Amino acid sequence: MAPITPERRLTYYEELRHRGYSRRDFMKFCTVMAAYLGLEASGTAQITKALMNTPRIPVIWLHFQECTCCSESFIRSSHPIVADIILDKISLDYTETLMAASGHAAEAAMQKTMKDHYGEYVLCVEGSVSNYGDGEYCCIGGKSSKQILQEAAAGAKAILAWGSCACNGCVQAAKPNPTQATPIHKLVKGKPIIKVPGCPPIGEVMAGTLVHLVTFGAIPELDRVGRPKAFYSKRVHDSCYRRPYYDAGLFAETFDDENAKKGYCLYKVGCKGPMTYNACGVIKWNNGVSYPIQSGHGCIGCSEENFWDNGPLYRQMSSFPGFGIEANADKVGLVAAGAVGAGIAVHAIATNIQKRRLIVDVIDEGKKAEKELDNPLS
């Protein structure tokens, strides 16, 4: 270990030792993280080495239009070190929710980190940014959220967009989106942005993503929309334990029927698992206790863009845009098909009136020919 000098930031391991964790605890944490990240066995050693040798990365954690459920989820992730390593002031240079400082002191701390570690710090953003007017719907310390974001993003090494708010706007971006709640990637260009969507995201997923960033000094492999592949490459549906019922065509029709009691698939009561990319079925929630489907409620697709405008939550088919809440594509289609059917009937009747001459001619000609022919069988 390198000598500790006032200039040198402590490594993660050193910080943890100071906080009273044993090496054993530390190793356990590294193993858990390697498993979550889907690394090979040697990955544990890599993580251990990285956390022992790299000084901790300064982190600025901004809160905009959000409900803080991401932070709540994060500090409840199953391994206590997760909370300690990132949130207990060890690594966080600035976060409105958990820092001790407040007011001017807090702002000064953020400015200092941004200046001292320009180009090094990781910027975590929780919440969407109000892009309406001058940003008056979301101001902190006299600055608009957009201003704060842009200032902080300028010197960031990478940006972590926590939760659906920062990734796609979440419920405050629902139509008509009065504050013009805007996700981070639409406002910041030219910086690596990792999206960790979910309302909230799973704590372990957030920790895993951060640990990957720290361990490998690089952003994890991302999928087509910028989410870490390790956690978002499969649908909830693909790891759902009710999947055999789905494949068998056995569905709960209501939440209190016999089928629901038997634990049948929740597809018909609106489960959006087949469209939702997340790790809920594998990592689960609250220290792996359960996840919505296991608790008898369908997935609402909280980590998918626009889930809020693709309701209703308790029906499979979304309501069709522009036709009211009750109208899904099938109802609109059926009405349209009915109208076309009626049109055809009218047209058929009109044809017999309007084209009478023509039709009679054809029929006459045919009948005449029939008369002229012999029936060879009689």
Partner 1 sequence: MKGQRLRRVFVWELPVRIFHWLNVLAIFVLCVTGYLIGNPPALLSGAEASNRYMFGIIRFLHFTAAYIFMFNLLFRVYWSIAGNKYANWRNFVPTNGRYFTEIFKVLKIDIFLQRGKEHMSVGHNALAGFMYFVIFLASLFMVVTGLGLLADNSTWWFTRAFIWVPAFFGSDFAVRNWHHAFMWLFIIFTLIHVYLVFYHDYVEGRGEISSMGGGWKFIEEEQFQAEKPE
276 binds partner 1 (CB under 8 A): yes
Q: At what angle do helices 356-372 and 329-354 cross, to 10 degrees?
A: 70
Longest dimension (CA), the chain: 119
Give me the residues paired with residue 194 across strands. 160
SS3 state of residue 17: helix
CB of residue 297 vs partner 1: minimum separation in angstroms? 18
Backbone angles phi, psi at 205, to 5 degrees: -70, -40
Element (H or E) spanning 92, and its range?
A: strand 92-95
Q: Which residues contact 15 (CB under 8 A, 6 or more apart)?
A: 56, 85, 90, 91
Among 185, 243, 297, 315, binds ligand SF4 (CB under 6 A): 243
Specify whether the CB–CB gap between 129 and 138 falls below 8 A.
Answer: yes
Kindly state the number of chain residues that form the binding site for ligand SF4, as judged by CB under 6 A. Answer: 15
Partner interacting with residue 236 (select from ligand SF4, partner 1, none; CB below 5-8 Å by kind): ligand SF4
Q: Which residues contact 323 (CB under 8 A, 6 or more apart)?
A: 331, 332
Site stretch for ligand SF4 (CB under 6 A), options 49-57, 135-143, 262-270, 340-348: 262-270
Residue 99 sits at the vertex; the CA angle it makes with 95 and 100, to the nearest 5 degrees, is 155
User: CA-CA distance, 82 to 248, in Å (whole number)?
Assistant: 40
What is the per-residue binding string for ligand SF4 in 191-230, x denoting contact by CB under 6 A? ----------------------------------------
297 binds ligand SF4 (CB under 6 A): no
Closer Cβ to partner 1, 187 or 275, answer by number: 275
Please give the residues from 287 up to 316 whose contact with partner 1 meets the rule CB under 8 A: 301, 304-307, 310, 316
Partner interacting with residue 299 (select from partner 1, ligand SF4, none; CB below 5-8 Å by kind): ligand SF4
Which residues contact partner 1 by CB under 8 A? 168, 224-225, 233, 235, 238, 244-251, 253, 258-259, 267-268, 272, 274-277, 301, 304-307, 310, 316-318, 320, 329-330, 332-333, 336-337, 340-341, 344, 347-348, 350-351, 354-355, 357-359, 361-362, 364-366
Which residues contact ligand SF4 by CB under 6 A? 236-237, 240, 242-243, 246, 265-267, 271, 273-274, 293, 298-299
